[in-house]
């Protein structure tokens, strides 16, 4: 029987640390981390995600601002809003909730967010930094997965790691982060042949394919760490992951549940990224204030 990886508990620990550091930031600079979340349209799932992010901000002592825009918002209007948020000193992180309505270009919108405020780490600049392993903001879901794996005590270095899924949000950055920890990484996708043969050799298996109960026991190595990123509904409408939990759990060494596994970690890592952005911003503003003060003092002395 596998050890259950409790994402709720680990996420609570991360948020507690973020809250303490936010207090220190306030004491040192008088600054409160600020996150702006933009939602376009009335997608029910997006509304839930935005509400959860707002709640997390309250838990860690952040300022949060939700900007709800109508479905028919034009690309120009959204870009103008992002430009305004980019310039606001009180906003450290900007998040545009995906998916966007079809008439809006997601790549253009995400690319318009300042890399310094891109706390989702979706912009081309930050994606590039993840690729070379020199990043300030960790992609939230993959970063959460890394925390879950590390909580098991299983060392990633030298392990055979398999990621199912190649999305820009999870699959690709997940592979890079495992590689940066010296894992031997294989990325599987819809065109992969002999999938079961590959996944059954994985010491660490991360599934982000988005198909209910896709991963079965014959696809899992005895004692493997199994991380289920999926958030799906089965034929009966019940919430489930990519992994057929009841079948895989007796065979795995460690496994995440759905819900209560990766989901809470994603939001916890968003809080961590926002804190990082706030610390950088506060430091820059503080240095600028000191320079201005010194400059003004010099001007006064010359009079």
Whether residue 295 is predicted with pLDDT greater than 50 in this model: the reply is no
Band of pLDDT at residue 291, cut at 50, 70 and 90: very low
So what's the pLDDT on residue 18? Answer: 98
> Catalytic residue at 97?
yes
Instruction: Using alpha carbons, select from 90, 92, 100, 94 the residue that is nearest to residue 69.
Output: 100
The strand pair at 34-40 and 93-96 is best described as parallel
Per the annotation, the verdict on 53 as an active-site residue is: yes
Burial grade of 12 (CB within 10 A; 0-12, 13-18, 19 or more)? middle
What six digits make up the tokens of 83?
A: 């430009």
State the pLDDT confidence band at 23, using cuts at 50, 70 and 90.
Answer: very high
142-176 confidence digits (pLDDT tens): 999 999 999 999 999 999 999 999 999 999 999 99
In order of start, what are the domains of the chain with their CATH numbers? 29-115 (3.40.50.10860), 140-262 (3.40.50.720)
d(CA 18, CA 208): 27
Rounded mean pLDDT, 203-220? 97
Cis peptide before 259 (omega within 30 of 0): yes
In the set 118, 120, 203, 228, the catalytic residue is 120
**Nearest residue to 31 (alpha-carbon basis) of 94, 107, 102, 91:** 91
* pLDDT, position 283: 81
- Closest by CA position to 143, among listed 125, 152, 160, 130: 130
Q: What is the pLDDT of residues 104-136, one digit of tens each?
A: 999 999 999 999 999 999 999 999 999 999 999
Express as a percent the part of the chain with pLDDT over 70: 94
pLDDT at 296 over 80: no
> At a CB cut-off of 8 Å and minimum separation 6, what does 106 contact?
98, 99, 100
Residue with more model confidence, 303 or 92: 92
Residue 174's pLDDT is 98
251 is catalytic: no
Residue 188 near residue 195, CB atoms below 8 Å: yes
Give the active site residue among 97, 221, 244, 251: 97
What value does the mean pLDDT of the chain take? 93
User: Using CA atoms, how far apart are residues 97 and 273, in angstroms rounded to an integer?
Assistant: 16
């Amino acid at each position: 029987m596998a050890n259950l990886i409790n994402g709720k508990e680990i996420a609570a620990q991360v948020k507690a640390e973020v809250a303490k550091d936010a207090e220190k930031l306030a004491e040192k600079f008088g600054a409160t981390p600020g996150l702006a979340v933009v939602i376009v349209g009335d997608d029910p799932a997006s509304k839930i995600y935005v509400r959860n992010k707002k709640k997390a901000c309250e838990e860690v002592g952040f300022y949060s601002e939700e900007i709800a825009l109508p479905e028919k918002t034009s690309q120009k209007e959204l870009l103008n809003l992002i430009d305004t948020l980019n310039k606001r000193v009180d906003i450290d992180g900007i998040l545009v909730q995906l998916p966007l309505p079809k008439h809006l270009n997601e790549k253009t919108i995400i690319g318009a967010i300042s890399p310094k405020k891109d706390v989702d780490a979706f912009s081309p600049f930050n994606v590039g930094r993840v690729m070379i392993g020199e990043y300030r903001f960790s992609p939230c879901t993959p970063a959460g997965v890394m925390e879950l794996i590390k909580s098991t005590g299983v060392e990633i270095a030298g392990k055979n790691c398999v990621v199912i899924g190649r999305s820009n949000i999870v699959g690709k950055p997940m592979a890079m982060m495992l590689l940066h920890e010296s894992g031997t990484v294989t990325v599987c996708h819809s065109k992969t042949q002999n999938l079961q043969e590959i996944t059954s050799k994985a010491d660490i298996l991360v599934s982000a394919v988005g198909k209910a109960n896709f991963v079965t026991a014959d696809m899992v190595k005895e004692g493997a760490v199994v991380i289920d990123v999926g958030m799906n509904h089965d034929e009966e409408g019940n919430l489930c992951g990519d992994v057929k939990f009841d079948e895989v759990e007796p065979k795995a060494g460690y496994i995440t549940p759905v819900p209560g596994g990766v989901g809470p970690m994603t939001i916890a890592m968003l809080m961590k990224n926002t804190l990082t952005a706030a610390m950088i911003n506060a430091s820059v503003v503080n240095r600028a204030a000191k320079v201005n003060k010194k400059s003004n003092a010099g001007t006064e002395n010359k009079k």
